[in-house]
Amino acid sequence: MNYDAFEPAYLTTQIERIIKGLGDIRQRTSLPGREIPDADSLVIGEGRRLKMAVLFLDVCKFSARLSNSEEEQNSILSTFTLFFSEMVRILEDYGGTVEKNTGDGLMAYFEDGGGNPPERGSKRALAASLTMFRTSTQLINPLLEKSAIQKVDFRVAIDYGYVTVAKLGAPRRFNSCVAIGTVANIACKMLKFAAPNEILIGDQLRQQLLAPPWILYVNKVTDNSGWVYLPSGLPYPFYRYNGRWK
């Protein structure tokens, strides 16, 4: 995987699987489930503290979509089946772990040293975001519109730092992995500052992107994020990432 550019070979793979997904979109009955590699390696109540980027994806105006009739519900199901299937594949291709599907969004984390080849989580998370937007704009939405299906607009928020990945729940009943830490909380709350089709990042992730060309596309959104650095008491700013793959 190339984290510095979008490769034509990857586009070919995407086109093949998206066309296939669109072809049988009406035959699917449920959204893709959770993908949590190695969940069985943790016992209930055990956690591992890792440095990682945490990414949230949120579909915009989901509640405004008409969903009363069977036809309207099937349209949403078909759209999200195609969209989320490809988004999950992209996140995993960039070495991300999809921790949850919230119905109208995804949460994923990218630990440092993961991916193939290994790379920092911050760079892989941002590169995955660029690929998701490119795929939505140039592949998925044109196909949906050609099929008279409403297109998907979404937004992404990412931050970086130490997170504890833990397994919570009851043995032999319901249990799942969760990401615990301020980084995950900030990334989630950051979504409300993002407009449709925008990428927002926290200051900790920005500090991982100081080398060009990445830093050239970073612009401050707000100092008044509601979060502060505890050691200094200074505001924790959010930034908009304006770069896109060529």
In terms of residue numbers, what domain contains 73?
8-241
Helix/strand/coil for 68? coil
- Chain-centre distance of CA 14, in angstroms? 17
Task: Give the separation between CA 113 and CA 121, rounded to whole angstroms.
Answer: 7
Which residues lie below 8 Å from residue 188, measured CB to CB, with a gap of 6+? 56, 107, 157
* Domain harbouring 153, CATH code: 3.30.70.1230
- Residue 181 belongs to a domain: yes
Which tokens sit at 9? 């070979």
pTM higher than 0.95: no
**1, part of any domain:** no
Residues 6+ apart with CB under 8 A from 162: 49, 50, 51, 52, 181, 183
Q: Could you tell me if residue 3 is inside a domain?
A: no
Q: Mind listing the pLDDT tens digit for each residue in 73-112?
A: 777 777 888 899 999 999 999 999 998 777 688 999 999 9
Query: Please, which residues bridge with residue 111 across strands?
Result: 52
**pLDDT classification of 19: cutoffs 50, 70, 90:** confident
Domains: count for the chain: 1
User: Cα separations (Å) of 239 from 147, 158, 188, 205, 220?
Assistant: 36, 10, 14, 9, 4
Residue 149 lies in a domain: yes
147 band by pLDDT with thresholds 50, 70 and 90: confident
Does 28 score more than 60 pLDDT?
no
Q: Which pLDDT belongs to residue 195?
A: 95
Long-range interactions of 3-7: CB distance < 8 A, separation 24+: 3/94, 3/115, 3/119, 3/123, 3/124, 3/127, 4/127, 5/245, 5/246, 6/130, 6/131, 6/134, 6/245, 6/246
Q: CA angle, 126 as apex, 122 and 132 as ends, to 5°? A: 145
Q: Tens digits of per-residue pLDDT, 149-174?
A: 888 999 999 999 998 877 655 555 54
In a domain, residue 246? The reply is no
The answer to whether position 2 is within a domain reads no
Report yes or no on 171 lying in a domain: yes
Using DSSP bridges, classify how beta strands 199-202 and 238-241 pair: parallel, antiparallel or unpaired. Answer: antiparallel
**Which burial class, exposed, middle or buried, applies to 16 when counting CB atoms under 10 A from its CB (0-12, 13-18, 19+)?**
exposed
Mean pLDDT (the chain) is: 83
Neighbours of 2 (CB within 10 A): 10
243 pLDDT tier (thresholds 50, 70, 90): very high
**Could you read off the pLDDT of 39-76 as tens digits, one per residue?**
555 555 566 788 999 999 999 876 655 556 676 677 77
State the DSSP code for 138. I
User: Are 138 and 8 spatial neighbours (Cβ–Cβ below 8 Å)?
Assistant: no
Does any domain span residue 74?
Answer: yes
Q: Chain centroid to CA 9: how far?
A: 22
Token pair 């290994």: residue: 118
